Amino acid sequence: MSQTIDLPPIQVESTLRDQVREQFASLVQLMAVANPQPWMGLDITMPQFKVMLFLWHTPRTRVSVLADMLGIHLSNVSGILDRLVEAGFVYREDDADDRRLVVSQLTPKGEAILAHLYDSRAALVAERLTHLSEEELHALHHGLQALLNRW
C-alpha cells in the first residue's frame, strides 16, 4: 500500500514558485545565448553598455545618479559618457531645473542600437511562440499577465 504525504500549502506553493523561477531563469539564459550575432557588432564596453541601458530606461539622467546606480566614481562615469558622446550614442545638456547640472540622454543612434538588440530578442520569442498550441499560448498568456499585474 503506497502512502502519500500531503505537504502543507505553503510548501507546495514554495516548490512551485521555485520551479517557475528556475524555468524563467532557464528561458532568460536560452534567450541570451540563442543568437549572439546582434551583440557581436557592438563596439562598446560593458560599462558603456550599462550606461546606455540605464539611460534607455531613465532618460535625462544626471551624472551623479549614473555613478550611484552603477556603483562607480563620478570621474569614471564622466569618462564613459565622454566616449559615448564621441561615438554619437549619448548627448549632454543643461538640466532645466538647475542649469549648474548636466543631464545625459541617448541620441536617436543610441536608442536605435538598443532597440535593435531588443527587437532581435523579440523576434526570437515570436518565432518560438509559433511552435506552441493555442492551449499552451492561452496558459502562457494567463501566467505572464498575472506576473505583469504584480510587477
For residue 115, what is its C-alpha cell? 532597440
3 state DSSP class of 31: helix
Please name each of the domains of the chain with its CATH number: 31-149 (1.10.10.10)
Say if pTM beats, i.e. exceeds, 0.75. no
How buried is residue 104: exposed, middle or buried, by Cβ count under 10 Å (0-12/13-18/19+)? buried
pLDDT digits (tens, 9 = 90+) for 67-92: 999 999 999 999 999 999 999 999 99
21-69 residue pLDDT tens: 899 888 888 877 777 777 777 889 999 999 999 999 998 999 999 999 9
Give per-residue pLDDT as tens, 100-122.
Answer: 888 999 999 999 999 988 888 88
Q: How many residues does the chain have?
A: 151
CB–CB of 39/117 below 8 Å? yes
Instruction: Return the axis-axis angle of helices 46-57 and 108-129, rounded to nearest 10°.
Output: 90
